[in-house]
Amino acid sequence: MSIAVYPGSFDPITLGHLNIIRRSASLFDMLLVCVMINSSKMPLFSSEERVELIEKTTERFPNVKVELCESLLVDYMKNKGAKVIIKGLRAVSDFDWEFQIALVNRKLDPSIETLFMPSGEKYTYLSSSVVKEMARYGADLQTFVPVEIIEDVQKKIHIERRR
């Protein structure tokens, strides 16, 4: 069975992320969407909430499973029997960073490969940071996040404002 892992912070999941998930799920027997902890970011949603939001949006993909990872990605992959990391790229600047991380992962485990997938052209501008900023200003989120989670994002932003 071919297993790939799509890691990220997904705070929140965007239509760009969902595009990568859909395309990756068609290439592998199983795609594990792995919610990672990024110590350099202050997330809007808790890790558990992010898992729930992704599960809501990926129910239609029978070979996609969403999990939280609190370890090194290569250790998680070894435990799951996965050999491929999926990374979406929006621009050349994404490649610079992701290439360095791919080399580190290969150094940690030479059997792991990284597959870089270019973003769907209509999502190259899209990031979770953009989504959060647009939500804070009350923008229509239909072109940013899956419809299943628009209300969740709006509620979370409303709670954040009240603090």
In order of 11, 55, 121, the CA distances from 67 in angstroms are: 14, 9, 27
The one catalytic residue in 17, 50, 87, 132 is 17
- CATH number, domain containing residue 43: 3.40.50.620
CA–CA separation, 113 and 85 (whole Å):
6
Please give the tally of structural domains in the chain.
1
* Catalytic annotation present for 83: no
The one catalytic residue in 26, 41, 129, 158 is 41
Q: How much is the pLDDT for 21?
A: 98
* Catalytic annotation present for 17: yes
* Catalytic annotation present for 22: no
Q: Please name which of 71, 88, 91, 72 lies closest in space to residue 10, comparing C-alpha atoms.
A: 88
Tens of pLDDT along 107-148? 999 999 999 999 988 998 899 999 999 999 999 999 999 999
> What pTM did the predictor assign?
0.95
The one catalytic residue in 24, 50, 87, 128 is 128
Tens of pLDDT along 9-66? 999 999 999 999 999 999 999 999 999 987 777 899 999 999 999 999 999 999 999 9
Indicate the pLDDT class of residue 163, thresholds 50, 70 and 90. Answer: low
Q: How much is the pLDDT for 158?
A: 85
Whether 86 has a pLDDT exceeding 80, the answer reads: yes
Range of the domain at 20: 3-162
Token reading at 71: 């370890």
* Catalytic annotation present for 158: no
